[in-house]
Chain A
Amino acid sequence: MPVLEAKRLCKSFGSVEVLTDIDIAIDDGEFLVLVGPSGCGKSTLLNIIAGLEEESSGDVLIDDRVVNLVAPKDRDIAMVFQSYALYPTMTVAKNITFGMQVRKVPKPEREAALARVAKLLDIAHLLKRKPSQLSGGQRQRVAMGRALVRKPRIFLFDEPLSNLDAKLRVQMRGEIKQLHQRLATTIVYVTHDQTEAMSLATKIAVMSGGRIAQLGPPQELYDRPNCLFVADFIGSPAMNFIEGTIAIRKGVPLFVAQHETSEIALPLDHYEFAKGAAEGRSVTLGVRPEYVTGAGTANKGPRTIRFELAPAIMESNGFDQHVSFDFCGGRLAGRFAARETLAIGTPIDVHMDLSMISLFDTESEERL
């Protein structure tokens, strides 16, 4: 039985439709991340789940009960906002216990809960301060504390880490993950950062233009993106896209593209077409940079094809080198071992592993 469900949810502001037919279901203990570019409607969706915004049509269900008309306070949720939204005139302790005070929880119980959260988040020494006297990271913790102090059915996070610097963001990300594992709560988490989504989620919903482009476990989205948008959005460095057509020769489907003066034909006999291979169709082949490697990289599958290409751009991060080549009228990025000696313009062997490629219809951008 799903804890949270959205059924054919739509939302318009005036004549502008910002959410279209959103369908989501998550089970107890799941960590759902809504990810997508800025303005795609993530916050709006989260606000509708919280009851802070009214849906135009469709239903929100919590524990199989339609809650469209239930006030936010009665939905058994807690929320962390991007701006933290700490009450500026209250101390940290008051900020955290305000909700319980409003709900007339007896004082001893409030204090016990406060102590528990202060210990959990390591903010006991901050309790007497006002929000303006806290650093960004501390405010973030307090905002988390305000949500954690109650034990709601569902936690909602709206880009809680986007105001932190890079290092703190990674640290807090780890702590949120740990909290989720320890408390085993259900979480809906909004972010525009795909790395954050990949590392936190048990399930990701990629949103684009008010629709859910794909919903599934992180690995599935990574390996089998169902459209060009998802393929491009998930993964860093981004997936390579090569334009070409499908040909069938001797009963074997091939991906055919033009590289400089010669034709390149990649065998697709292993590829699981959703609706069969249609000859002559314009397609976009997607291959992730980690499947484009050099001679020194060991794990080459049986479906590896070799090209001779000259590096155009090289960037090293110490662990590996990101190398770009001019290929089939576009750019092809690969990941090479850090110790491989490469030079711009000097041709080298490039191995492309085709076992994990994706194919998309160039026109509809859907996965084939």
Chain B
Amino acid sequence: MTEAATEPQRPGRSMTPLVLRGLLFLILGLFVLYYLFPLFVMIVTSLKPLAEIRQGSLLGLPQAVEFTHWETAWNSTCMGVTCVGLKPYFLNSVKLVVPAVFISTLLGAINGYALSKWRFRGSNIIFGLMLFGCFIPFQAVLLPMAIALGRMGLAGGTTGLVLVHVVYGLGFTTLFFRNYYVSIPDELVKAAKIDGAGFFTIFTHIILPLSAPVIVVTVIWQFTNIWNDFLFGVSFSQGGGQPVTVALNNIVNSTTGVKEYNVDMAAAIIAAAPTLLVYVVAGKYFIRGLTAGSVKG
């Protein structure tokens, strides 16, 4: 053993890891290309005039770069007879996502706090049921949700859609926060109780200030899911109140006559931009938050 370790390394031996490493990067590179390829095609296509798209190859770089399709997609492209572009629907999504993410994250934090630091008889059962909620497929809740929204008089409006997303997201947000809070020492809460703090004072003064990593994770998760949602959007909203994903689908599907690939591509990129942006900006916090462990005193 010691003999072998001190022996000068033979070339054949030291080459093996290098070759393996090269192979690894080759495979990774292929995957990167595979994933980047559609994005590349989308961006290139969105900048080409229609004529060029029809003649040229899918991969060719645009000869004449035109940003006008982006403007068309944003301001004036048509779905059916209305030609207002993606803009109002994009704003719909913003108005939907912001409150839905905020409320579901806040409620998840309070739930997680209560379920980890104020255990009560049956709290584990409640947590189990909430977890179960995470695994119910969208399709299964469509009909009951529609009936419930109808009874509450919230059918077809943004408020109703916010409610749907909050309820559906609560299982996940509770799970995230509860698992994070379990790693915060109970003695912190005990000390605060003796100091005279109650449920919400402890939450706002002790627990929330420690929650930045898990808040980032939850917000990214919820934002991505709600922004990208199509099924709830198409089921529970109508007309001018639809979110951007539904609008995108309508635009792509309803172009009569010439198919404007460049505009469609621009619209698709606009619709996907916020989630991409969130990952680029906060992605590293996402990874960090997922692995964040206990709190050091």
Q: Which residues of A are interface residues toward B (Cβ below 8 A)?
A: 47, 50, 52, 71-73, 77-79, 81-89, 98-99, 102-103, 131-132, 139, 146
Contacting pair B296 A85 (CB below 8 A): no
11 contacts between A and B (CB under 8 A): A47-B190, A79-B194, A81-B187, A81-B190, A84-B297, A85-B190, A85-B297, A87-B191, A99-B194, A99-B196, A139-B297
Residues of chain B within 8 A (CB-CB) of A77 are 194
Contacting pair B196 A52 (CB below 8 A): no
State which of B196, B205, B295 has its C-beta within 8 Å of the C-beta of A103: B196
The residues in B between 199 and 253 inclusive whose CB is less than 8 angstroms from any CB of A are 201, 205-206, 209-210
B192 contacts chain A at the CB level, 8 A cutoff: yes
Contacting pair B297 A73 (CB below 8 A): no
B195 contacts chain A at the CB level, 8 A cutoff: yes
Nearest chain-A residue to B196 (Cβ)? A73
CA distance A297 to B149 in the complex (A): 92
Residues of chain B within 8 A (CB-CB) of A139 are 297
CA distance A72 to B197 in the complex (A): 10
Contacting pair B192 A87 (CB below 8 A): yes
Nearest chain-A residue to B212 (Cβ)? A89
B185 contacts chain A at the CB level, 8 A cutoff: yes
Quote the shortest CB–CB distance from B189 to chain A (angstroms). Answer: 9
CA distance A204 to B185 in the complex (A): 29
Contacting pair A81 B191 (CB below 8 A): yes
Quote the shortest CB–CB distance from A81 to chain B (angstroms). Answer: 5
Contacting pair B194 A87 (CB below 8 A): no
Quote the shortest CB–CB distance from B123 to chain A (angstroms). Answer: 15
Contacting pair A132 B296 (CB below 8 A): yes
Contacting pair B297 A131 (CB below 8 A): yes
Contacting pair A72 B210 (CB below 8 A): no
Residues of chain A within 8 A (CB-CB) of B194 are 50, 52, 72-73, 77-79, 99
Contacting pair B193 A87 (CB below 8 A): no
Contacting pair A88 B296 (CB below 8 A): yes
Quote the shortest CB–CB distance from B57 to chain A (angstroms). Answer: 57
CA distance A336 to B194 in the complex (A): 50
Residues of chain B within 8 A (CB-CB) of A99 are 194-196
Quote the shortest CB–CB distance from A363 to chain B (angstroms). Answer: 42
CA distance A98 to B205 in the complex (A): 9
State which of A85, A89, A98 has its C-beta within 8 Å of the C-beta of B209: A89
Most buried by B among A77, A79, A88: A88
CA distance A221 to B125 in the complex (A): 48
CA distance A19 to B187 in the complex (A): 21
Residues of chain B within 8 A (CB-CB) of A52 are 190, 193-194
Nearest chain-A residue to B184 (Cβ)? A88
**Contact-residue bracket for chain B:** 10 to 19
Residues of chain B within 8 A (CB-CB) of A71 are 193
Contacting pair B296 A102 (CB below 8 A): no
Residues of chain A within 8 A (CB-CB) of B197 are 73, 98, 102
CA distance A265 to B185 in the complex (A): 58
Most buried by B among A52, A82, A85: A85
Quote the shortest CB–CB distance from A189 to chain B (angstroms). Answer: 16
CA distance A83 to B185 in the complex (A): 9
Contacting pair B209 A73 (CB below 8 A): no
Residues of chain B within 8 A (CB-CB) of A146 are 191, 195
CA distance A198 to B114 in the complex (A): 41
Contacting pair B187 A88 (CB below 8 A): no
Check A102/B206 contact, CB under 8 A, given A50-B194, A73-B195.
no
Quote the shortest CB–CB distance from B93 to chain A (angstroms). Answer: 34
CA distance A52 to B193 in the complex (A): 8
B188 contacts chain A at the CB level, 8 A cutoff: yes
Residues of chain B within 8 A (CB-CB) of A50 are 190, 194
CA distance A86 to B195 in the complex (A): 12
The residues in B between 271 and 297 inclusive whose CB is less than 8 angstroms from any CB of A are 295-297
CA distance A103 to B194 in the complex (A): 11
Residues of chain B within 8 A (CB-CB) of A85 are 185, 187-188, 190-191, 297
Residues of chain B within 8 A (CB-CB) of A82 are 187
Residues of chain B within 8 A (CB-CB) of A78 are 194
Residues of chain A within 8 A (CB-CB) of B196 are 73, 99, 102-103
Quote the shortest CB–CB distance from A141 to chain B (angstroms). Answer: 14
CA distance A99 to B209 in the complex (A): 17
State which of A73, A88, A98, A132 has its C-beta within 8 Å of the C-beta of B210: A88
Nearest chain-B residue to A84 (Cβ)? B297
Residues of chain B within 8 A (CB-CB) of A132 are 296-297
Check A83/B190 contact, CB under 8 A, given A102-B195, A102-B196, A103-B196.
no
CA distance A87 to B203 in the complex (A): 12
Quote the shortest CB–CB distance from B150 to chain A (angstroms). Answer: 45
Most buried by B among A84, A87, A146: A87
Contacting pair A87 B188 (CB below 8 A): yes
CA distance A52 to B187 in the complex (A): 10
Residues of chain B within 8 A (CB-CB) of A84 are 297
Residues of chain A within 8 A (CB-CB) of B192 are 87, 98
CA distance A179 to B161 in the complex (A): 62
Nearest chain-B residue to A149 (Cβ)? B195
Contacting pair B191 A79 (CB below 8 A): yes
State which of A86, A98, A102 has its C-beta within 8 Å of the C-beta of B297: A86
Most buried by B among A78, A82, A99: A99
CA distance A239 to B209 in the complex (A): 52
Task: Give the 3 A-B residue pairs with the shortest CB-CB distance, closest first.
Answer: A99-B195, A85-B187, A73-B196
Most buried by A among B193, B195, B201: B195
